[in-house]
Amino acid sequence: MILETEQLKIETEDARFNSIYPIHIKKLSERHWTPVEVAKLASDFLVHKPKCKVLDIGSGVGKFCLIGATSTDGRFYGVEQRAELVKLSQRIAETHHINNVEFINSNVTEISFSNFDAFYFYNPFYENIDDSLLIDNKLVLDEKLYFAYTEYVVNQLKQTPVGTRLVTYWSMNLDIPEGFILEFTAYNGKLDFWEKKF
């Protein structure tokens, strides 16, 4: 009974947040955008020092970054390849006067991870290997891109310093580089909290 009430509270909070988005974006939420509770847990862990800079790899409609920016003191950056989603994220941040967030319209392969202290990874390249419930039909998707983008991210993570934090969500196939130690796990292993120790 307690569990059911708690679950209902979580779903209500998520639905309330999603109401800031247009209907076609809301419909994609369950599959593509981080739930509010997950975003809060992840950003609490990622923001581990003053002036901490967190990068969301594939920020979509900005949900993770917007929640992180309003629930912590961190500075959140989202890189997103779809220009329309970036514009929507920027508009929401401006409307709600959320200043500790920035959205970059780019491919992640153009971003150096050396500018950030922590990273959030919600299986962003999966659309290249599973075309059910796509965000849109505007991109050419290709299995080769899944492997190329993943390789880029893994190589960038390898070069980060000790102390770097990483949260992965629904990304059990990601080859986490040596040195990152699993500190906690939640949601039956779907949400993992990592810190680079060596």
Ligand X SMILES: C[S@@+](CC[C@H](N)C(=O)[O-])C[C@H]1O[C@@H](n2cnc3c(N)ncnc32)[C@H](O)[C@@H]1O
What are the φ and ψ backbone dihedral angles of 12, each rounded to 5 degrees? Answer: -65, -45
The one among 41, 55, 108, 166 contacting ligand X by CB under 6 A: 108
Q: Which residues 6+ apart lie within 8 Å of 40 measured at CB? A: 67, 68, 71
Q: Considering the complex, what minimum distance in angstroms separates the CB of residue 98 from ligand X?
A: 15
| Part in contact with ligand X (CB under 6 A); list of ranges 10-18, 76-84, 90-98, 159-167 | 76-84
DSSP strand pairing (165-169 vs 191-196): antiparallel
Instruction: Return the structure tokens found at 38.
Output: 């997950």
The one among 14, 37, 80, 117 contacting ligand X by CB under 6 A: 80
Our finding on whether 190 is near ligand X (CB under 6 A) is no
Our finding on whether 68 is near ligand X (CB under 6 A) is no
Q: Which residues 6+ apart lie within 8 Å of 143 measured at CB? A: 128, 129
Choice between 13 and 179, CB closer to ligand X: 13
Q: Considering the complex, what minimum distance in angstroms separates the CB of residue 121 from ligand X?
A: 8
Q: Considering the complex, what minimum distance in angstroms separates the CB of residue 198 from ligand X?
A: 28
The one among 64, 103, 119, 180 contacting ligand X by CB under 6 A: 64
Choice between 76 and 180, CB closer to ligand X: 76
Q: Considering the complex, what minimum distance in angstroms separates the CB of residue 130 from ligand X?
A: 11
Our finding on whether 79 is near ligand X (CB under 6 A) is yes
Spatial separation of the C-alpha atoms in residues 98 and 82, rounded to whole Å = 21
Choice between 44 and 179, CB closer to ligand X: 44
- Total residues interacting with ligand X, rule: CB under 6 A: 22
Q: Which residues 6+ apart lie within 8 Å of 69 measured at CB? A: 75, 76, 93, 98, 100, 101
Our finding on whether 168 is near ligand X (CB under 6 A) is no
The total number of residues shown for the chain amounts to 198
Write a three-state SS string for 141-156.
CCHHHHHHHHHHHHHH
